[in-house]
Amino acid sequence: MSINAMMQRLESLAIPAHEDRAALARLRRAQKPEGYVEAYRYIMEYVEGADKKQLDAYILVASLFGHNPRNSNERYRNIGNVCREIADTPVDDASERRFLALLQADRPELKVGLYRMAKMADRKGLAINYTQLFWDIENWDDPKGNVQKQWAGSFYPPEKNTSVAEAAADDIATKED
| Residue 171 pLDDT | 45
**Which residues, in sequence order, are CB contacts of 24 under 8 Å at separation 6+?**
13, 14, 65, 66, 69
Q: Give per-residue pLDDT as tens, 112-126.
A: 999 999 999 999 999
Q: Is the pLDDT of residue 75 over 80?
A: yes
Query: What's the residue count for the chain?
Result: 177
Cβ(134)–Cβ(71) below 8 Å = no
Q: What is the pLDDT of residue 72?
A: 94
Query: Under the phi-then-psi rule, with left for phi > 0, alpha for psi from -120 to 50, and beta for the rest, what region is 19?
Result: beta
111-115, 118-122, 142-146, 173-177: segment of lowest average pLDDT: 173-177
Please give the Cα distance from 46 to 55 (Å, whole number). Answer: 10
Q: Where are the beta strands (DSSP E) in the chain?
A: none
CA-to-CA dists, residue 92 to 85, 96, 121, 132, 154, angstroms: 12, 6, 16, 26, 16
Q: Could you give the CA distance from residue 157 to residue 177 in angstroms, rounded to a whole number?
A: 31
Q: What is the pLDDT of residues 6-63, one digit of tens each?
A: 999 999 999 988 999 999 999 999 998 888 999 999 999 999 899 999 999 999 999 9
Whole-number pLDDT of residue 174 = 46
pLDDT at site 165:
41
Q: In Å, what is the CA distance from 53 to each residue of 31, 59, 60, 134, 177?
A: 15, 10, 11, 11, 57
How high does pLDDT run on average in the chain?
A: 88
Residue 1 banded pLDDT, cuts 50, 70, 90: low
Alpha-carbon span 7 to 168, nearest angstrom: 44
Residue 146 has pLDDT above 90, yes or no: yes
